[in-house]
Chains A and B, each alone.
Chain A
């Protein structure tokens, strides 16, 4: 060892006092500072202090829980994230033209009850029985077809992402100021979803028209050629799904409509959703499939707002995205509407709106509520139910120009029986709107079969937060740290 840098006694004392002072300050702040419950930038709940009991201590869950709590509630966490961004930036000599964030698009949270209100009501015992049987039937359905839900892939993004060169399906690629979810699943992966449609046809009978709108995530349109390769994975995947659909289901060709306008801002560059404009082209494709004359874009009131950094920015914190934020473009429907939304407790109804001002993608309908109803003054008596993931939110407002009553079910959160809803409200048209990542997930298969009968959202098998935290602080594989 070399000569120590700090040799004078006073400097040694100062060094020791400052070092220990910092550690103690951290500890005190950790104990005393008020604790947040939610990290909105990360779209998740923060860890709570774990409950202590014998089994959790012995199994090590308690210790992991404490570590998660400390990591989530660490003083000045937001500031430290900024420092970490700066430090990470210093590692390089500029930004590469193409940045790849492997696995960044594939994170899902633990299966807690969603929402902004209390947990599901006590009356759920009946519902959970229904859900169990529905789950069983979904399982049976899949197993019968030799397509069992792969273990640990109950999450929407998990999939059989085997690819020739790189397993990039869960990767984000940043290229020319745009974050793109690389879609690389084999074409056959989506065909499984056709079986869900078969189940719905069996359950609902021929009196209900079913539309399915698979929406690409933009991978074919925006991935740089070097990454994408010659094949259009999204197109192939959709074509395979459409070919497998039972004849009674009408496919909505959103891909082609979007593809024709790929040079327009149809997808956010910093968020994983399509834009109001993209959804407009989706609406024209739906209108064509349904035999409705779509309104021209000029028939809507165009409004833009905001500087919006969306979820993919939150995911990567890439400065390449931050320099050119998105803006939100809305095409307001002229009809007078009344919107009501069912909150996550599955009981409370609240008034909502089609557009909620300037709130990023949440400008469209707000959150993903379990159920919404929209009454329009269009006065034609037509009724439609939309079953959707969040991609539906930007699309649904256009329907208010054509349907007097619209029901909107979020496939993840609605606990009621959709079949009963359809029968009770005499709904004759159902539109499924899903992005390709969702359509290829195992979760959507079991969940949408379960939706027919109803039941609370299924628990998700997800990577736990503490796992990823430990990954970072763990040791090299195989180093003599005595861990396998």
Chain B
């Protein structure tokens, strides 16, 4: 189930919220949340619930094993075994086809390429459980005694399918001891409505335009069209992913959980290094804490460490070489900033640094979009070749006229304008009731607009046949 759907908004969510708050006591509520989360996960693809439960059970018992043998060498076995099982699950269900196809290509074997439908959310929840087991081994958190509470951490529907990657230590306390506060519920609603608006109004509209320019015949794509298409994809992926994170954080808060931020206006970055401190923060910090630093970090074999971390970061996004390229591309840029041009860059005027970062980020999205390397090559050549003409095609002209106001709003929406405006409002308007009224109207408008646009998505007239 996806958050930005009528089924989630008007069937699942009211039942989940209603059931949760009607039940007395945290144990009952946790049990209810687990049941709701499993239903959420099973919706449309029930067969993978078993995998989720297995993955949770594996790390629950491994952590218990580690805790039981704390201080003894045997405890490390728990970590190794958990890693082997989790990474095998990931390799088996996410990368089996990719690995086999590449093996066939390199070695010349003719192994049948398995076509396994990717179990939704597997990359997120396996990382969550891995981080938990390692943290228990490192003594940073206590092993959870209740399987139900641990399952709640793993399966909680708010962040199950699209992150953020929540670490157990960040919500360990809240799993067993949450208190209801109106401000959590209210700020959760704020956050959720904002994220929903980002997804439905900005990401979906940009997405509709992306296909027109990046999905068609690239050989005849004009220079302007290519860059416009790439801009649309850059907007789509940001609003889609950060909108989803906002909804996840907001939903978590409605149920009393406080997740860490996952995005911090990444497109205002003035360097690639800064971009990665602002983009998908929970993934970056996972790789930093569990791969990069254990490998030696900055101090020991920097280039090798960077190559491994960024290759893996790319591969995590999908089982295809273009994602690996995308990761390595950023690894290379980060090394360059670190070892070659970083100090020069820092001395340049801000406008140049913004331009530098944005163009490189956008080129990165081209790597991300095209899974077909041939099409990727064609597209990049369209982007980088000097334009023969700046004339706008009929379609682009039409798209610009009919989306001009939206485009301006979307570009402004990439800036931290909401928090700026919020701060200003608090300074201008002292009356809390007025501020509260504005906030309520803002939320309900976002919900209503998103609902209308989602309902219009079902409008589906037919021309040539009657009924």
Contact = CB atoms under 8 A, between A and B. Distances in A.
B464 A2 contact: no
A469 B4 CA distance: 11
Interface centre among A90, A97, A479 (most CB of B within 10 A): A479
Contacts of B369: 477-478
A243 interface: no
Contacts of A41: 461
Contacts of A146: none
Interface stretch (A61-69, A197-205, A399-407): A61-69
B361 to A, nearest CB: 15
Interface residues of B, number: 113
B454 interface: yes
Contacts of B342: none
Contacts of B443: 15, 19
A91 B444 contact: no
Interface stretch (B11-19, B56-64, B377-385): B11-19
A7 B205 CA distance: 32
B229 to A, nearest CB: 13
Contacts of B397: 96, 98
Contact of A12 (B183, B394, B403, B418): B183
B10 A23 contact: yes
A344 to B, nearest CB: 9
Contacts of B386: none
B390 interface: no
A74 B217 contact: no
B334 interface: no
Nearest to A7: B432
Interface in A86-111: 87, 90-100, 102, 105, 107-109
A272 interface: yes
Interface residues on A, range: 35 or more
B237 A482 contact: no
B128 to A, nearest CB: 13
Interface in A457-482: 460, 465, 468-469, 472-482
A248 interface: no
Interface stretch (A162-170, A294-302, A333-341): A162-170
A54 B438 CA distance: 48
Given A44-B462, A72-B458, A96-B402, A16 B11 contact: no
A419 interface: no
Contacts of A63: 1, 43-44
B406 A92 contact: yes
B464 A438 contact: yes
Given A30-B11, A66-B7, A481-B161, A412 B465 contact: yes
B448 to A, nearest CB: 7
B261 interface: yes
B294 interface: no
A227 B7 CA distance: 40
Given A14-B436, A74-B455, A107-B461, A43 B466 contact: yes
A479 B237 contact: yes
Interface of B (DSSP majority class): helix
Interface centre among B241, B426, B436, B457 (most CB of A within 10 A): B436
Contact of A6 (B161, B402, B439, B459): B439
B459 A42 contact: yes
Contacts of B422: 2-5
Contacts of A469: 457-458, 460
B404 interface: yes
Interface string A21-47: 011101100100000001101111100
A478 to B, nearest CB: 6
A60 interface: yes
Given A23-B10, A60-B45, A83-B449, A95 B402 contact: yes
B397 to A, nearest CB: 6
Given A473-B454, A482-B122, A71 B6 contact: yes
Contacts of B419: 1-2
A74 B462 contact: no
A220 interface: no
Interface in B413-455: 418-420, 422-423, 425-426, 432-433, 435-440, 442-444, 447-449, 451-455
B356 interface: no
Contacts of B187: 4, 6
A18 B440 contact: yes
Contacts of B207: 476
Nearest to A315: B461
Given A24-B14, A166-B216, A71 B458 contact: yes
Contacts of A311: 461, 463
A93 to B, nearest CB: 4
B317 A105 contact: no
A84 B395 contact: no
B371 interface: yes
B210 to A, nearest CB: 8
Interface string A343-371: 00000000000000000000000011000
Contact of A5 (B10, B395, B438, B465): B438
B189 A16 contact: yes
A307 interface: no
B118 interface: yes
Contacts of B2: 473-475
B462 to A, nearest CB: 4
Contacts of B11: 27, 30, 70
B19 to A, nearest CB: 12
Contacts of A129: none
A188 interface: no
B273 to A, nearest CB: 21
Contacts of A477: 369
B123 interface: yes
B121 interface: yes
B1 to A, nearest CB: 8
B400 to A, nearest CB: 8
Given A7-B432, A482-B119, A91 B205 contact: yes
A216 interface: no
Interface string B339-365: 000000000000000000000000000
Contacts of A150: none
Interface string A433-448: 0000110000000000
Interface of A: 1-16, 18-20, 22-24, 26-27, 30, 38-39, 41-45, 57-58, 60, 63-64, 66-68, 70-72, 74, 77, 80-81, 83-85, 87, 90-100, 102, 105, 107-109, 112, 114-115, 155-157, 164-167, 224, 226-227, 272, 311-312, 314-315, 317, 367-368, 389, 412, 437-438, 460, 465, 468-469, 472-484
15 contacts: A4-B439, A5-B439, A6-B190, A11-B436, A15-B440, A30-B10, A63-B44, A94-B401, A156-B465, A311-B463, A438-B464, A476-B237, A479-B237, A480-B162, A484-B318
Q: Which 8 A-B pairs have the closest CB atoms?
A: A11-B436, A2-B419, A5-B439, A71-B458, A84-B456, A12-B186, A472-B457, A91-B406
